[in-house]
Amino acid sequence: MIWSLAFSALSRRPIRTFLTALGIAVAVGSMVIFLSLGEGLRKAFASQIGSIGPDLQVSFGDFDASASFTMLPELPAYYLTELRQKSSEFGIKRATPLLSHFRAGLSPSNSFVFQGLPPEENLADLFSGFKLNEGRSLSIEDETSEVALIGAQVAKRSQLTLGRQLRLNGDYSFEIVGIVSSSEGIVDNSIIVPLKSLQAALGITDKLSFITLDLDEPSRAAETAKKLKAAYPDLGFQTRADVLGVLEQGVKVTDVVRLGISTIALIVGAIAVANTMMMSVFERTREFGVVRAIGARPRFLFGLVLGEALLLSFVGAVAGVILGRLGMIAVNAISINLIGLEVAALTLRLVIFAVAVAFLMGLVSGLVPAFRAARISIATAMARE
């Protein structure tokens, strides 16, 4: 009975009800979009790193995902020789040096991630589903040449074609000789150049960003990492699970930031609900007095006003989830065009969380008006014109 009366009361004020529900929808929709970025990033990391990549990644010190592309390389190159010399001792099948460099631009189309690799490496062994779409691949003759393979997504985003010059700095440019792709997004969004050429361009010949290790027994990667750590305490050895764990921690930090931003919108929505319910209680004071006079108890009025707030919040939550889903479609359309990946995902736990937050918002914002309605005396109500 209370729910039908609550719905009837909200229906009598359609414009106010609509505007309040819209405010809640915008707040919940914003929260859904912000938090869906975290869900999408988790899925992207799991799909891109969880099933591909090297068995072990070697870094100088602990791995820092946020600084891996932006900081200068710190891993001394002589460790590559040492690990190759002791490959039989640690069960290392292949050790590959990697130099990463991020060239920032004023826009995404002018920002590039350079990956320096030995040109004699078979890229199909390093990257899952590697495919040469146009041009040619790198060869041993390109060891010191200024040539580059660009990912298909980079070529599309920056409108680059074979033969174009890609400038790294004032002294070095790389000629595009091939366009490549793979089943993982890393290659599609990178520029692969000969290792020595990138070292010369950066003026760093004795340092690397990482060394990737392929093992004879990949299932024993964690055990091998412990042995290597004992032998080389200054280095960090990360399995795929370790890398995912670091990335997951980074996503959690951004989750907190996004939740904080969403909280501001939710507070505004809660104020809107409280304001609507307080005005409703004030306008219906005489009505509540009549209801009290015919035998209704204060707790009935309390439940009625609180039910209206919860119903209003539920409608806003449903609309907010729909609005958030539409926003996610737009965000993913932009991210696919830029990096070829969907960065937002709507999961069941996110929907449940959004609806639960909206209900909590309705409960908190409806308590004060509900208490006020329950405390209205019959005499005061009947005296009001």
pLDDT digits (tens, 9 = 90+) for 224-282: 888 999 999 989 888 766 665 555 555 666 666 667 777 777 787 777 777 777 777 77
DSSP symbol at 121 = S
Look at residues 10, 16, 24, 7 and name the one whose alpha carbon lies nearest to residue 358. Answer: 24
pLDDT at 50: 44
Tokens of 33: 């979009």
Please tell me the predicted confidence (pLDDT) of residue 178. Answer: 93
Weakly modelled stretches of the chain, pLDDT under 50: 49-52, 66-67
The pLDDT value recorded for residue 175 is 92
In the prediction, which pLDDT does 383 show?
59
Predicted local confidence at residue 149, as pLDDT: 93
Residue 158: which region, alpha, beta or left (left: phi > 0; alpha: psi -120 to 50)?
Answer: alpha
Provide the pairing of β-strand 92-103 with 210-215: antiparallel
Q: Which helix (H) or strand (E) holds 351?
A: helix 348-374
SS3 18: helix
pLDDT of residue 302: 82
Instruction: Output the pLDDT for position 185.
Output: 63
Cβ-contact 200, 145 below 8 angstroms: no
Q: What's the pLDDT at 294?
A: 74
Q: What is the pTM of this model?
A: 0.62
User: How far is 59 from 100, CA to CA, in rounded Å?
Assistant: 12
In the prediction, which pLDDT does 110 show?
65
Whole-number Å distance between alpha carbons of 365 and 363: 6
Distance CA 24, CA 319 (A): 8
